[in-house]
Amino acid sequence: MIKLDVPIKDDISNLKAGDVVYLSGNILTARDQAHKRILEEGSPYDLEGVAIFHAGPIIKNDGTDDNPNYKMVAIGPTTSMRMNPYQADVIDKGVKLVIGKGGMNESVQEALKRNGAAYLVATGGCAALYVNGIEEIEDVEWLDLGMPEAIWNLKVKCFGPLIVAMDSHGNTLYK
């Protein structure tokens, strides 16, 4: 088991396919529409060392539109291959960890190698489990895309388990 602080500030090239990882710090959710907007307009966050989670969280607002009080209900991985058209270019902007399910294509594998980054798989069907690792929702950007497509900035502690499925050496659990 490997514990990492995010955003990543150190070299993570020692991660190998099959390693089990837990994250503490901040992670961002982003799906295909957010990835597309990042490339078209720029990111609302500094992406250096960031972990991006391919997830469409279910969130309730116990506050008002003017004074929101967001609470995480469930958060599980979404199918990462939907982000294939954008992911390599987003990784090139400094992203170090991508979290999702189902694997990604060769262009993403090459971007992981080029940037010393890794793709981590989150287990589908564990949306309630992953909520336990979220301490708070710090903020949200691009809510105009809809709740699942917005970028949620999540403070996490021991978020996992996550498995390194594609490492920065070209190793993958999918072949």
Task: Write out the catalytic residue numbers.
Answer: 35
Helices (H) and strands (E) in the chain, counts: 4, 9
Contact 13, 63 (CB under 8 A): no
Dihedral angle over CA of 77, 147, 37, 156, nearest 10: -50
Cα separations in angstroms, 62 against 43, 57, 71: 27, 16, 7
- Tokens 């989670």 identify what position? 53
Is the CB of residue 79 less than 8 Å from the CB of residue 53? no
